[in-house]
Structures are given as C-alpha cells and as structure tokens.
Amino acid sequence: MKIILLEKKRKKLYAELELATGGFSEANFLAEGGFGSVHRGVLPDGQVVAVKQHKLASSQEDKRRLLVYEYICNGSLDSHLYGRQREPLEWAARQKIAIGAARGLRNLHEECRLGCIIHHDMRPNNILITHDFEPLVGDFGLTRWQPDGDTSMETRVIGTFGYLAPEYAHSGQITEKADVYSFGVARPLLEEYAIEELIDPRLGNQYLENEVYCMLHAASLCIRRDPHSRPRMSQVLHILDGDMVMDTSYISTPSYDVGNRSGRLWSEPLQRQHHYRGPLLEESLESFSGKLSLDK
C-alpha cells in the first residue's frame, strides 16, 4: 500500500483534503478504527485516496493529523464475506487472498531489517482487496516492534476479541505467534465457518480438494493453544502452496528464541502423501477438530 506524499503547507493541505472528502462527510466514510476514522477522497488531479484522521489527546495543540493512502477499490475482506450485495468469492480468489495475506505477515515477522514486527490486529476487516483481488494487510494502528529475543508483556489487552491468541488474552504475552493465531482464525472465515461441509456451500464443487486440505491443515496448526506449537508464517506459506507438510506432533522451540524457531517440515508434496487420500470431509474434519476444541 502506498502512502501519498503531498508537498504543501499544512493549512493548505488540510483544506484540500477537507474539500476532497466533502468535509469528511458521512457519504465518504469508509471505516472507523481505534485510532481514527477513514474517508474516501478525490484529489484535484483525479487521484482517489483514503484519508485517515488520527485521534489525538485533547492536550495536543494540533489535532489535525492526517494520513493519505492509496485507495483500495475492492474494500476489505469482511465486505466480501458478509456484504449482501457481493458475489461469492471464487475459489481461486480465496486461495490468492489466503496466500497473499500470509506473505504479508511473513514479511512483517521475518524479513524486516529492524526485527520482527507484530501486526497485533489481524482480521478480515484489515485485509484490503485490490481490483485484481490481491490482498494487502492494512491498519497498523496497534503494531508492535519486537527485537529478536524479546518477549513483550502488556498490562492492558487490546485488539479484536475472537481473534486474540489465548496466551495474550490471558496473560498479556505478545509474540509474532499471536498474529499466527489470528491468521488461523481469519483463514476459515473464507469458508464462512461451514464446518459441516468445511467449505462455503455457495462454491458448489468449484474448488481444488488438495488446496482445501492445505488451507484447513494450515489453519488447524495456527490456532493451537500452545504458541510454541504454531508454525511460523513462512511455514504457513509452504503449507498453503502444498509443497510441505508440518509434523503435527512436533512442538517448536519458543518463537522469541534466536535460531531454530520452527516445527519440523517435510518437503514431500501433498500429492505423494498416501495417508491424505480418501474423502476430503472425513480427513479434513479430523485435522480441523482443533478449531473447535483448542485443546492441542
């Protein structure tokens, strides 16, 4: 996602953005977050942007703090899941969104030069969808920087209930494995929690069985109660791609240790794993039972 840079004096810039958003009108309202509201706007050159107004403490003199972002035309993932006027997402789009969101978290956790960055609020509302259904991880209002070797403890639990990792909700312990858990919760939402059939019934038979199994396998690992037994996001990507299988009996070393922080991976493709043959419903439901019990 791009942040639009506007080289103008502050007062003139604010007036331009106020005009672009219709005075931050209700008609241009897009979303409300814990740190501010977002409105759609059109700049004089015709560029469509999203303008976020940050909430500031009353003691601060300048309360007009704005961020101007590239406007993502397809909205957020939750609007595609729950929007009444939206067509059901095709399987290829669901697969693309899952892999893209996993790649975004992988980049935050494992590829940032400054160290691990925890998103802290991974949910469908914060996955934005472009015109070609490329997902973008958005809303970094709760993001934390976690240097290697550091385990943070928070005295006040913040985030979205239903997506909070158990260790964070109970004790305030926050590592990147909390994001992994949230991803595991968000991932089945692409199937609308159709547990009986495991996939959104609106898809009919328009899906690939191997890809469905990979998604459910990844989700069941991500939502394990013990954070040490959850995979890293790079491992989740390999699982979603179908070229690696995680040993579900293996418990990894703590996610905040430097060194080997992963579970054991097998590089044998899913197609060659004979024990995955058989009806998708029976095998996947057994693997995915952890979503219901959370006792692993």
Q: What confidence score (pLDDT) does residue 277 get?
A: 30
Q: Per-residue confidence at 34, pLDDT binned at 50, 70, 90?
A: low
Whether residues 42 and 185 fall in one domain: no
Q: Both 141 and 39 in a single domain?
A: no
Query: Quick check: 25 pLDDT over 70?
Result: yes
- The per-residue pLDDT for 250 is 46
What whole-number percentage of the chain has pLDDT above 90? 31
The per-residue pLDDT for 81 is 80
Q: At which of 37, 52, 70 does a domain end?
A: 70
Dihedral sign from CA coordinates of 188, 194, 198, 203: negative
| Residue 185 to residues 83, 131, 147, Cα–Cα distance (Å) | 19, 25, 25
Stretch 188-204: mean pLDDT, rounded?
Answer: 58
Tell whether 51 and 165 lie within a shared domain: no
In this structure, the number of other CB atoms found within 10 A of the CB of residue 130 comes to 14
DSSP helix/strand/coil, 179: helix
> How confident is the prediction for the chain on average, in pLDDT?
74
What CATH number did the domain enclosing 49 receive? 3.30.200.20
Q: Tell me how far apart the alpha carbons of residues 179 and 165 are, in angstroms, rounded to a whole number.
A: 8
Average pLDDT (59-75) is: 75
Confidence label for 270 from pLDDT (cuts 50, 70 and 90)? very low
Structural domain tally of the chain? 2
23 and 161 share a domain? no
The pLDDT score that the predictor gives to residue 85 is 63
Do 96 and 179 belong to one domain?
A: yes
In angstroms, the CA 240 to CA 38 distance is 32
233 and 166 share a domain?
A: yes
The pLDDT of residue 170 is above 80: yes
Cβ–Cβ under 8 Å, residues 171 and 225: no
| Rounded Cα gap, residues 235 and 233, in angstroms | 5
Residue 4 covered by a domain: no
Mean pLDDT for the stretch of residues 119-129: 91
> Could you list the residue range(s) of the whole structural domain that residue 107 is in?
77-293
Q: Higher confidence at residue 7 or residue 111?
A: 111
Last residue of a domain, one of 22, 41, 70: 70
Interval 173-191 mean pLDDT:
83
Q: What pLDDT does 275 receive?
A: 30
How is residue 101 written in tokens?
Answer: 């969101």
**Domain shared by 39 and 97, yes or no:** no
Among 6-15, 29-38, 76-85, 155-164, name the one with the lowest average pLDDT: 6-15
| Whole-number pLDDT of residue 62 | 55
Residue 199 lies in a domain: yes
pLDDT category at 242 given cuts 50, 70, 90 is confident
The structure tokens 């097998």 sit at 266
Same domain, 152 and 241: yes
- Of the candidate ranges 31-45, 94-108, 271-285, the one whose mean pLDDT is the lowest: 271-285
Which residues, other chains included, contact 52 with Cβ-Cβ below 8 Å and sequence gap of 6+? Answer: 33, 36, 37, 38, 66, 67, 68, 69
Output the pLDDT for position 184. Answer: 92
Q: Is the pLDDT of residue 232 over 70?
A: yes
Average pLDDT over residues 39-54: 90
How far is CA 32 from its chain centroid? Answer: 18
Please compute, for residue 10, the number of CA atoms within 13 A of its CA located in the half-sphere on the CB side.
Answer: 5
Q: How far is CA 180 from CA 166, 219, 221, 265, 277, in A?
A: 12, 9, 9, 17, 28
Domain assignment of residue 3, yes or no: no
pLDDT at 266 over 60: no
Question: 3-class DSSP state for residue 268?
Answer: coil
pLDDT score of 274: 30
DSSP code per residue over 69-115: EE--TT-BHHHHHH-TTSPPPPHHHHHHHHHHHHHHHHHHHHS-TT-
Q: Mean of the pLDDT values across residues 173-192?
A: 81
Cα 137 from Cα 188, distance rounded (Å) = 17
Report the catalytic residues: 121
What is the per-residue pLDDT for 188?
Answer: 61
